[in-house]
């Protein structure tokens, strides 16, 4: 008979080596990072631009730039771009995030050459046609009006505004903001932001030498720099947001809760330790918040915490949706769990479990070559290199219950955090 009561022997988790890209410079100065692997016949090519905000402009302009990048150029209509991308079975995704605007192309190798000239046209000749802008505004307003009915969505908006204040990180558009969007400022922003001077490229997958030379030619030799400086306004976070905001929804069955604050980003020496503490509190299925509030009390379908690292700041947040009758009880339990991390040394067994979980999750997050690129981008854009991850894993490994206590005291202070509740209390 086998012994079913005892777990099989545990083996140390061997760390994988992160993929070190080959870096090349295009003749116009663009950095190209190549992640070549011998796998499926496909590539992902990314063009990443830092967001810039000329004086007096609204962050909505940055969002619209991302949203409308593939809506028409001097020579190609929106419909023609869509037709080409779809015909070659490709996926072309413009994306806006707090710090960057990017364009990502997923394509089978055999079709790369058909699409690179289209991308070049998009990056250099986009005109944000009036008609498409009208559609963009109309549809975004309508989908925003739907989202505004979702408590969780509203809680996130209010939370960002509360902790970051009046800048790109704190901004979420209101319905009326779309009225102010116009073509001219969009073109101006594009001419300043979507330029060779501000572009970083990543190519990953089965990257042939032909693809690399096409990139050199089309996005290097044939793309001139503007030579203009890149404007961005400074980020000032002069608010101290330890407030509680309740947005009452009379018909709510559940309340959406967000609790958190600004915190240190990846470049800070405490970041890895903070990630460890975050994982213990709410970063995995067995976390203290999940164990207590879902598995023990059944107040919610899910509760979690996370840290977002940005270029000029970072945030810590706890998010959940809970029954209206247990909203206050949930807040109290969150408070208790945070305090417990600050007052009680955690059991070594639990700490070891979290360390192993994080190790496993780390290699699990490196599923394919694209995930290696994402890991690289996380450090590259904040001025670090891949050695960061060696230090990170080492730091997690060496952490003691005393370290966890100290970090929790330094960064997790319930009374200093913003609490946003959308629903009923």
Partner 1 sequence: MITFNRFTLSNGLKVLVHEDEATPMAVVNILYDVGARDEDPDKTGFAHLFEHLMFGGSVNIPQYDLPLQRVGGESNAFTSNDITNYYITLPANNIETAFWLESDRMLSLAFNTKSLETQRNVVAEEFKQRYLNQPYGDVWLKLRPLAYKTHPYKWATIGKELSHIEQASIEDVKAFFKKHYTPQNAIMVVAGDVKTSDIKRLSEKWFKNIPAGEKYNRSIAREAIQLEARRSIIEAKVPVNSIYIAFHMDDRSSPSYYICDLISDILSRGQSSRLFRKLLKEQELFSEINAYLLGSIDNGLFIVEGKPLEHVPLENAEAAIWTELKRMKDEPILDYELDKVKNKIESTMVFSEMSILDKAMNLAYFELLGDADLFNQEIEKYRRVTAEEIQETANRLFTKENSSTLLYLAKKDD
Residues within window 73-92 making contact with partner 1, judged by CB under 8 A: 78-79, 82-83, 85-91
Which range, of 162-170, 226-234, 281-289, 407-415, touches partner 1 by CB under 8 A? 281-289
Give residues 306-365 in contact with partner 1 (rule: CB under 8 A).
321-323, 352-354, 356-357, 359-361, 363-364
Rounded least distance, CB 31 to partner 1, Å? 25
Q: Which C-beta is closer to partner 1: that of 140 or that of 263?
A: 140
Is 298 a binding residue for partner 1 by CB under 8 A? The answer is: yes
368 in contact with partner 1 (CB under 8 A) = yes
- Please say which residue, 324 or 406, places its beta carbon nearer to partner 1: 324
Contact 120, 219 (CB under 8 A): yes
423: left (phi over 0), alpha (psi -120 to 50) or beta: left
Residue 195: closest CA among 165, 177, 178, 219: 219
Least Å distance, CB 416 to partner 1, is 29
- List phi, psi (to 5°) of 175: -55, -40
Closest CA to 287 of 403, 296, 261, 395: 296
Strand ranges of the sheet holding 91-96, from the earlier edge strand across to the other edge? 22-25, 31-36, 199-205, 42-50, 100-108, 91-96
- Tell me the per-residue interface mask from 23 to 52 with partner 1, x by CB under 8 A, - otherwise: ----------------xxxx----------
Residue from 295, 344, 385, 398 binding partner 1 (CB under 8 A): 295
Nearer to partner 1, 324 or 384 (CB): 324
Which residue stretch of 176-184, 280-288, 378-386, 389-397 sits at the interface with partner 1 (rule: CB under 8 A)? 280-288
Q: Does 163 bind partner 1 (CB under 8 A)?
A: no
Task: Scan residues 184-243 and list those touching partner 1 (CB under 8 A).
Answer: none
**Main-chain phi, psi angles of 399, to 5 degrees:** -65, 140
Binding flags for partner 1, 104-143, as an x/- string (CB under 8 A) = --xxx--------------------------x--xx--xx
Q: How far apart are CA 39 and CA 367, in angstroms?
A: 13
Give the one residue of 74, 184, 367, 415 binding partner 1; rule: CB under 8 A: 367
Q: Which residues, listed in sequence order, are joined to residue 24 by a DSSP beta bridge?
A: 32
201: β partners = 32, 47
Of the candidate residues 191, 240, 244, 253, the single one contacting partner 1 (CB under 8 A) = 253
Tell me whether residue 29 or residue 360 sits nearer to partner 1 (CB atom).
360
In angstroms, the CA 233 to CA 52 distance is 8
Secondary structure, 3-state, 187-239: HHHHHHHCCHHHEEEEEEECCCHHHHHHHHHHHHHCCCCCCCCCCCCCCCCCC
How many C-beta neighbours within 10 Å does residue 384 have? Answer: 15
Minimum distance between the CB of residue 306 and partner 1, rounded to whole angstroms?
Answer: 16
Query: Based on CB atoms, which residue is closest to partner 1, 97 or 143?
Result: 143
Q: Give Rg (Cα) of the chain.
A: 24
The smaller minimum CB distance to partner 1, of residues 59 and 283, is found at 283
- 227 φ/ψ sector (left φ>0, alpha ψ -120 to 50, else beta): left
Determine which residue in the list 75, 97, 117, 150 makes contact with partner 1, applying CB under 8 A: 150
């Amino acid at each position: 008979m086998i012994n079913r009561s005892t777990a099989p022997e545990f083996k140390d988790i061997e760390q994988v080596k992160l993929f070190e890209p080959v870096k090349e410079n295009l003749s116009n100065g663009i950095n190209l990072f190549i992640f070549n692997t011998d796998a499926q016949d496909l590539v992902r090519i990314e063009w990443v631009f830092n967001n810039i905000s000329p004086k007096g402009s609204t962050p909505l302009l940055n969002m619209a730039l991302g949203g409308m990048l593939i809506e028409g150029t001097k020579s190609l209509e929106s419909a023609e771009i869509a037709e080409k991308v779809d015909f070659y079975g490709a996926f072309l995704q413009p994306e806006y995030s707090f710090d960057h605007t990017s364009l990502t192309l997923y394509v089978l190798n055999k079709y790369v050459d058909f699409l690179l000239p289209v991308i070049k046209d998009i990056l250099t000749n986009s005109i944000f046609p009036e008609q498409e802008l009208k559609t963009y505004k109309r549809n975004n307003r309508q989908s925003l009006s739907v989202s505004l009915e979702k408590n969780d969505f509203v809680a996130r908006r209010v939370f960002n505004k509360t902790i970051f204040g009046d800048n790109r990180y704190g901004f979420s558009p209101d319905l009326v903001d779309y009225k102010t969007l116009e073509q001219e400022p969009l073109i101006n922003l594009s001419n300043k932001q979507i330029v060779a001077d501000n572009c970083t490229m990543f190519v990953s997958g089965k990257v042939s030498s032909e693809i690399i030379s096409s990139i050199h030619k089309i996005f290097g030799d044939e793309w001139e720099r503007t030579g203009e400086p890149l404007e961005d306004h400074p980020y000032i976070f002069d608010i101290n947001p330890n407030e509680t905001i309740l947005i009452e929804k009379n018909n709510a069955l559940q309340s959406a809760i967000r609790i958190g604050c600004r915190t240190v980003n990846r470049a800070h020496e405490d970041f890895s330790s903070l990630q460890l503490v975050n994982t213990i509190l709410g970063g995995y299925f067995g976390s203290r918040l999940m164990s207590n509030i879902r598995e023990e009390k059944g107040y919610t379908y899910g509760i979690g915490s996370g840290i977002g690292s940005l270029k000029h700041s970072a945030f810590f947040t706890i998010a959940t949706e809970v029954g209206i009758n247990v909203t206050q009880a949930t807040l109290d339990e969150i408070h208790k769990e945070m305090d417990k991390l600050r007052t009680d040394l955690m059991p070594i067994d639990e700490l070891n479990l979290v360390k192993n979980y994080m190790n496993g999750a780390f290699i699990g997050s490196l599923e394919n070559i694209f995930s290696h690129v994402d890991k690289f981008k996380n450090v590259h854009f904040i001025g670090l290199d891949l050695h960061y991850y060696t230090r990170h894993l080492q730091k997690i490994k060496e952490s003691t219950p005393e370290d966890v206590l100290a970090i929790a005291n330094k960064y997790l202070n319930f009374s200093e955090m913003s609490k946003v509740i959308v629903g009923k209390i």
